Amino acid sequence: MQKLTREDLLTLEAYARERAAFRARVLEHKKTRIVHVGAHVTLVFEDRLTIQYQVQEMLRVERIFEPAGIAEELDAYNPLIPDGRNLKATMLIEYPDEGERGRKLVELHGIEYRVALLIGDLAPVIAIADEDLDRSTDTKTAAVHFLRFELDATHVAAFADLEVVIAIDHPSYSARQTLNAATRAALAVDFD
């Protein structure tokens, strides 16, 4: 998947005009790219369109229009676009109550290293977490992590045909979610 360039982005004025339609398009696109793993963890699988939306929103919110600022945003977000043999996801740990969330983030320390992609009976693909920076402390995990699942040719070839499961095996949180056909098809495009 090609990385975004400045030419792929709308100016602030053009984005203001097209934002509602673009946002609706992205939200529809994300429906098959969101996977709930248990009651409190959600993976949002990113691609070029979802990242373009993130960049456009950052430029809008921060009122960034100068080339250096735009380049900074592209440098920050482009690594989240899959590059052929991987899937990339934003992992959200979600507890609505702030007090409970604080306690759970301590209990779930290290959960970002316990996420795997299981494709049929092939070897598990363990997520690589937070390559850009360490989000957790020595005592608690963060509520948001960035994951990369690096697949080999055998995993990629089998992805569309075999059962695909996201598994989290942490002492304080164990859950599995089988990907439905629509999600598998949407994510398989990331390998092109």
What does each of the 192 residues of the chain score in pLDDT, given as a tens digit? 789 999 999 999 999 999 999 999 999 999 999 999 999 999 999 999 999 999 999 999 999 889 899 999 999 899 999 998 999 999 999 999 999 999 999 999 999 999 999 999 999 999 999 877 677 778 899 999 999 999 999 999 999 889 999 999 999 999 999 999 999 999 999 997
CB burial string 98-129: b at 16+ within 10 A, e below: eeeeeebbeebbebbbbbbbbbeebeebebbb
Q: Which amino acid is at 80?
A: L
Q: Are 163 and 181 in contact (CB under 8 A)?
A: no
- The token duo for 32 is 């098959």
Residue 130 CB neighbour total at 10 angstroms: 18
Q: Which amino acid is at 93?
A: I
Q: Are 132 and 112 in contact (CB under 8 A)?
A: no
DSSP-derived secondary structure letter, 54: H
Rounded to two decimals, the pTM is: 0.90
What are the start-end ranges of the H helices in the chain? 12-30, 48-62, 67-77, 98-107, 153-159, 181-188
